Structure formats: C-alpha cells, structure tokens
A and B are shown apart, each in its own frame.
Chain A
C-alpha cells in the first residue's frame, strides 16, 4: 500500500500536463470567424500623392530631361533582368576555373612522384585555386539566395471543406481585388473527399500585406445562380494566411451566407524562406 496521498502521486502528471499545455496550444491555430457577405464591403481609401497628381506635368519634365527617350517610350521586347546576365557570367567564370583545375589535375597525375620542394609549391597553388573556385560558387549561391530565396512572401491560401447540403459545386472561383485569382474544379472524387473531412486548395498565391476583400463564387448545379460572396481579410506581412470556406451547411437557397468562413495565420515564416535559410549554411 502506497502511503502517499493521491494528490502527491498525481503531481508529476499534473506538472507534465502544465508544461505540455503551451506547446499543444501553440500548435493549434486559432481560427477567427469571417463574415461572407453578399455585397462588396466599402473600403476606406484615403487620398495619396496629391502633389504628384496635381503637378505631374512639371515633375515629368524634370526627369525626362535626362531620361533616354527609349526608356520613356518602351519597346515591345521585355528587358532582360541584369541579374540573370550576371549569373551566367559568374557561372562562366566558375567553369573556366574548373577547367584550369582539371588541367592541373591531369598534369599532376602524369607525375609519379613529387621530386622536389618546388612540386609542393605547385600543389599549394592548386589548392588555393580550388579554394577560389569554392568561394566563387558560394558567391553565386549567395546571389541566388538574395535574389530569390530571400524574397519576402506574404501568401494567401483559400481552402474548401465540407460537402454542400444541396446543389453540386463543380468549380470555385476566387478573385483578388486586382482581378487576378484562380478557378478550381471539383470532380466527384474531390466532392466525396470534402464530405468526409477532406480539404481542397482553391487558391494559393502572393498577396499584398494589407486589408483587402476577396470574391468567392461557386459554379455548378444550383450554385451558378447564386451571387458572389465577399470576404474581408488582412494578410500579415511575410506570413501565410489561411481562409477556410466550410460548405457543410451550405445550400443555394440560402445563398453565400450559408457558407461559413474562418481564417488563421501560420506563424512560421513562409516555407520558401525557411528552406532557403536552412540551405544557406550548407550550400
């Protein structure tokens, strides 16, 4: 028989639960409900660049005095990003250095024995050359990382879940404020998957880190006649924001208001940046 009271015996378990609690809570995203409205919400728009708009002709004359006319007029061909040209140059330099290293290696193989101290000096020079090649590769990878992997990514992912109570959703149209967006088709397999708890990604892409309204529309039997729904979101800079549209209580007769929406944010930096940072130390 254990002489200790029950509370003493449970104490380690309680301490463990107390310690685990925050980590469990941290992994669970906090979903904030969103309102899906039938009318596009009005957005505050404050006047901006008033001096420029009022004095555009004057300001234009200032910089056009020295700007080459070709830049102002533009051309049909797209200008090549100078970074791409520099990558090619870097790669060519590295290839040339590699050739030199290979030639040196062949010469070295032909020599059976290092006969003198002078040969050791040659070997040292070759090693230095190899180090320079490695340094050049690191510079090139650094340039690539700075230009691509290090680029900020404020992303939005719109997810669909649940099967509609009535009607049949064949596709989902998500449109951003600038008119861009995505159309995602739903076949029988996807619809069945949604009904049993699956999710479909209706949109994933870069967005501006500001408050904005996205438009959602369903196309399909019963749903094509239903007007678009609008959701106000505020993606956080350098983070992935999720918007979930739950169709489990949705019916065309009740319109887009029957679709429940929620949002949460991934607090980890965007996947591209995490991967790049991990690779930076080990190129």
Chain B
C-alpha cells in the first residue's frame, strides 16, 4: 500500500508530463490562431456578398483590396470588399479573414464606383503577369515589394476605360510607388507607371 502511494514520487518525470503536454498544445494552438494562411481574393467574396445582400438586396461589388500584407502568390489573410447599393445611395465594406467577417462598416467618403462584372481573374492568377512586368522595371530602377492589390472598374484610361483591372502597387521606403495595371479578364499587363 505504501509503495503504491509513493509511486508518483519514484517517477518524477511522469508528474510533469501532462503539464508539459498541455503547455505544448496551448503553444501550438496559439501559433495556429496567430498565423492565418493567406487566401486569394475570391475566397471571402461569397460571405461578403451574403452580408451585402442582407444589408441591401441590390448591393453590388464595386471595389476590393487586400487588408493585410500579401504573400508571394497573391494571397492575403484578409481582404476588404466594398459593396454599393443604388437604392440606399450608400456603400458598405466587409473585411473577411479566415472565413469570418471581422469588420463591417459604412464607407463615410463618397465613392460611387461602377459595379464589377462577375468574370474577373483571381488575385493569385493575375499576379504572375504583374510580377513579370515589375521584374522588368526592377532591372531598370527597382520596384520595392508588393504592398497593395486592388480591383476596380475604370482605373484604365484610353479606349479601355470600362475595363475591370487589377492594380498592383509596389513600394519601398524612400522611393516612388510603382504601379502595374493588369486586365482582370485576360491577365494582360495594360501599363505600368511610377508615382
């Protein structure tokens, strides 16, 4: 009986094993929570559209951009989707992270952008074209890292003013931003410029 009671003290390592396991699991859990894998822009669109329809039945997507840093494949942990309702005369944005709406707010400033058509290429699909154009520019004058991707209609001038385009904005501290505009329907680079 006495020997049975003393067994845990005979093997002190076992006493710490559950606590170590709990600690290790909680650390793994915390890491998993903190690092949300990035997703292409379309991943959160259906959820944002569901929220937009509840807000206004005639809500239309007019603009989107990454809300958190982009990775090398055109993915971001969080994307912001801006919808506009013609009947309400207002715009509202939903920011989606990891399949969950984390921010929903009305857009205070006036931004009557035209609605985006349905068939646009996703952020990861168009990145390659932008990277190629940016790489060519980098050879000449440096481009910085990719900071922002935004999708809107009417950003292009000339004969394609109605086209839906992805705009890639590269930047580095102390240098001008480098812009690459890519046709969202074909993936072709329309133009580049530095601001």
Question: Which among B5-13, B23-31, B93-101, B126-134 touches the partner chain?
Answer: B93-101
Identify which of B102-110, B137-145, B185-193 touches chain A: B102-110
In the complex the two chains form, is A66's CB within 8 Å of B150's CB? no
Contact assessment for A151 and B114 in the assembled complex, using a CB-CB cutoff below 8 Å:
no
A254 at the interface (CB under 8 A from B): no
Contact A49 B93 (CB under 8 A): yes
Encode A73-113 as 1/0 by CB contact (under 8 A) with B. Answer: 01000110100000000000000000000000000000000
Chain B contributes a number of interface residues (CB within 8 A of A) equal to: 45
**Chain A CB within 8 A of B32 CB:** no
Q: Chain A at the B interface: mostly helix, strand, loop or mixed?
A: loop
A209 engages B51 (CB within 8 Å):
yes
Given A65-B157, A66-B161, check contact A48 B93 (CB 8 Å). yes
Give chain A nearest CB distance to B112 CB in angstroms.
5
The answer to whether B54 touches A207 (Cβ under 8 A) is yes
8 Å CB interface, A250-265 against B: none
In the bound complex, do residue B89 and residue A74 qualify as a contact, i.e. CB atoms below 8 Å apart? yes
List of B residues within 8 angstroms of A60 by Cβ: 110-111
Task: Digitize B33-53: 1 where CB-to-A-CB distance is under 8 Å, 0 elsewhere.
Answer: 000000000000001011101
Number of interface residues of A (CB under 8 A): 37
Q: In whole angstroms, what is the CA distance A49 to B110 when docked?
A: 14
Residue with the greatest number of chain B CB neighbours at <10 A, chosen from A48, A51, A74:
A48
- Complex CA distance for A52 and B100, rounded to whole angstroms: 22
Which of A39-47, A129-137, A223-231, A272-280 is the contact stretch?
Answer: A39-47
Q: Closest B-chain residue to A155, C-beta based?
A: B54
Residues on B with C-beta less than 8 A from A67 are 112, 114, 154
A210 at the interface (CB under 8 A from B): yes
Q: Is B124 interfacial (CB-CB < 8 Å)?
A: no
Give Cα distance in the complex from A213 to B152, angstroms.
32
Contacting residues, chain B, for A53 (C-beta < 8 A): 109
Residues of A within 8 A of B95 (CB): 46, 48-49
Cβ contacts A to B, 13 pairs, < 8 Å = A49-B67, A49-B107, A52-B111, A59-B63, A60-B110, A62-B154, A63-B154, A66-B162, A72-B112, A207-B54, A208-B50, A209-B47, A237-B47
B binding-site residues for A, Cβ under 8 Å: 47, 49-51, 53-55, 57-58, 63, 65, 67, 78, 80, 82, 86-87, 89, 93-95, 97, 100-105, 107, 109-114, 148, 150, 152-155, 157, 161-162, 169
